[in-house]
Amino acid sequence: MVNWNNLDILASYQDLQQTNRVTLQDAMTGETGAKRVLKYSVNMAGNMAYNYAAKQVDDDILSTLSALAKEAQLSEKFQALYNGDVINTGENRLVLHHLTRGQLGDTVIADGVDKRVFYVKQQERIAEFANQVHSGQITNADGEQFTTVVQIGIGGSDLGPRAMYLALENWAKANQTFKMEAKFISNVDPDDAAAVLSSVDVAHSLFVLVSKSGTTLETLTNESFVKDALKKAGLDAAKHMIAVTSETSPLAKSEDYLTAFYMDDYIGGRYSSTSAVGGAVLSLAFGPEVFAQFLEGAAAEDKLAAGEDVMSNPDMLDALIGFYERNILGYPSTAVLPYSQALSRFPAHLQQADMESNGKSVNRFGESINYVTGPVIFGEPGTNGQHSFYQLLHQGTDIIPLQFVGFKNSQIGTDVDIQGSTSQQKLCANVAAQIIAFACGKEDENRNKNFEGGRPSSIIIGDKLTPASLGALLAHFENKIMFQGFLWNVNSFDQEGVQLGKVLAKKVLAHETEGALKEYSDLLHI
């Protein structure tokens, strides 16, 4: 039986507060540090590994964290989730994004439907449609092939798919799987939509409208913007648009779209990259086979996450160490630093995934909690970040844990040898150097040049960023967020904090305002 208890009543949490702290400068210096790098590593899917040698943990702390995982029933709770228990208690819903990429446990029946069968059917429908577009069976009104796909969405319907597309764009071009350029419209700011539309040939563009409810104001506003542009170009919008929505939405059977692909209420937007939300745009851009490889990588990582042994479960281990940094060491934020330009929007996606999931101050039953929860997530790709905000990371007053991601090889394979090393080697040298610089620091009589060190980091190291490794990387962080939500006893799968602003915005547009809200509305000429 699964017990949903607050963190502060768990005995192992109390034990964890009594453990001795690790002095990172000592732990990572000399032979001791070399041994830690080899020892503190666990394999991930996608030919990657999670290395946590430069984290402030030792065998005693890891043992206590393992005890906490057992007492908090992390494995049992994950099992309950993928077997179809109602884990999203706030909305009384199942949580099924893992089912979009594989079957980890029992058959899950919801609304009278086998949900794995449902998700696979949508993937098959998307694959058939994408292949018909690529082969020229589905064309524009003039019988010409579509060359561009434009996704219209907001939040998780944009951030995840956009990050995944950018991550694989160069790989697809290098591996001759690139089919269509993808663009994204998300911000209700008309300048965003106008800029995207001015950069594409609308006559040869296929638009993907993503709205689960079919009533998302921001998305429908941008749809109207696009339809207006198509009309002005003398085009029939219905011949240029498809929908990704729920079967019960007004978009599902509408003649305004070439076709519709379906999602459901059991997959939150920030977890939807492996559903039809990501599947449609990625299959059109790169081909269904590439999307399938992406799903396979995610599924392989999910299998590791289902393991009970913490020390061989990279997702749970990362979650526990991150929890230790937040709740025991008191670090308020985490920087995600991919040393790969292809992952330029991956930190932005993780901002939503983590902060929308675990930015909660009440438990899953709506009761106040008296411990901190989700950290602030931010980041940029290296080496750009080094010349931006690393100053604060190295010498600022707050210690900010770091999560590096690095790959031994580039996606494209084009490189140049300068002064005895390639650009890729220089990139990898920078991330290796940063780990040690943050951990060990450097003494200097000039206080401006003195580095205290003691700044913890982990690194996920892969061979190359491929569809499979990207899927595994995405699943790793999704599962990390899930496990941390279990520890904090919060509902990681609703986002009520997003809704209030939307409600008030509708009141502003309806001129149903008073007080300060009316004054701000007047200042903005609404």
Tens-digit pLDDT profile for residues 446-472 = 999 999 999 999 999 999 999 999 999
Q: Is residue 88 helix, strand or coil?
A: strand
Asked whether residue 390 carries a pLDDT value surpassing 90, the answer given is: yes
Identical fold between 23-83+307-494 and 103-292: yes
- Select, from the ranges 403-417, 470-484, 485-499, 501-515, the one with the highest average predicted confidence (pLDDT): 470-484
Q: What is the mean pLDDT of residues 132-158?
A: 96
Q: Is the pLDDT of residue 140 over 90?
A: yes
The three state secondary structure string of 360-377 is CCECCCCCECCCCCCCEE
pLDDT in tens, 343-366: 999 999 999 999 999 999 999 999
Nearest alpha-carbon partner for 14 in 331, 328, 329: 328
Please tell me the predicted confidence (pLDDT) of residue 506.
85
Planar angle of CA 197, 200, 201, nearest 5 degrees: 110
Average pLDDT of span 104-127: 98
State residue 218's pLDDT score: 85
First to last CA, the chain: 54
> Once rounded to an integer, what is the mean pLDDT over residues 254-266?
95
Per-residue model confidence (pLDDT) at position 504: 85
Domain residue extents for the chain: 23-83+307-494, 103-292, 495-526
Residue 484 pLDDT level (bands cut at 50, 70, 90): very high
Alpha helices in 369-495 (DSSP H): 390-395, 423-440, 467-488
Instruction: Please report, rounded to a whole number, the percentage of residues in the chain having pLDDT higher than 90.
Output: 91
Q: Report the pLDDT value the prediction gives residue 87, as an integer from 0 to 100.
A: 97
Residue 214: the pLDDT is 82
The DSSP element (H or E) to which 224 belongs, if any, is helix 217-232
Q: pLDDT tens-digit profile of 119-128?
A: 999 999 999 9
- What's the pLDDT at 3? 97
Is the per-residue pLDDT at 219 higher than 90?
no
pLDDT at 213 over 90: no
Instruction: Write down the residue that tokens 């890729």 correspond to.
Output: 424
pLDDT confidence of residue 413: 87
User: Is it the case that residue 499 has pLDDT exceeding 90?
Assistant: no
What span, in angstroms and rounded, lies between the C-alpha atoms of 404 and 460?
A: 6
Instruction: Report residue 351: phi and psi, to 5°.
Output: -55, -50
Residue 498 above 80 pLDDT? no
Question: Is the pLDDT at 483 greater than 90, yes or no?
Answer: yes
Mean pLDDT in the chain?
A: 96
What's the whole-number mean pLDDT along residues 40-52?
Answer: 98
Cis peptide before 383 (omega within 30 of 0): yes
3-state DSSP of 18-72: HCCCCCHHHHCCHHHHHHHHHHCEEEECCCEEEECCCCCCCHHHHHHHHHHHHHC
For domain 103-292, give the CATH superfamily. Glucose-6-phosphate isomerase like protein; domain 1 (3.40.50.10490)
Helix 346-358 to helix 467-488 angle, to the nearest 10 degrees?
Answer: 20
The residue among 524 and 182 whose pLDDT is bigger is 182
Dihedral sign from CA coordinates of 265, 270, 273, 279: positive
pLDDT greater than 90 at residue 420: no
pLDDT of residue 203: 97
Considering only residues 180 and 417, tell me which one the structure prediction assigns the higher pLDDT: 180
Is the confidence at residue 503, as pLDDT, over 90? no
Give me the pLDDT at residue 20, please. 97
Give the separation between CA 239 and CA 224, rounded to whole angstroms: 15
Asked if residues 378 and 351 have their Cβ atoms less than 8 Å apart, the reply is yes
Nearest alpha-carbon partner for 319 in 18, 500, 75: 75
Q: What is the pLDDT of residue 385?
A: 92
Report, as an integer, the average pLDDT of 186-215.
Answer: 94
Please list the active-site residues: 356, 387, 502
- For the whole model, what pTM was predicted? 0.96
pLDDT in tens, 63-85: 999 999 999 999 999 999 999 99
Q: Tell me, what DSSP letter sits at residue 417?
A: E
| pLDDT surpassing 80 at residue 178 | yes
- Residue 242's SS3 state is strand
Q: Domain 23-83+307-494 adopts which CATH fold? A: Rossmann fold (3.40.50)
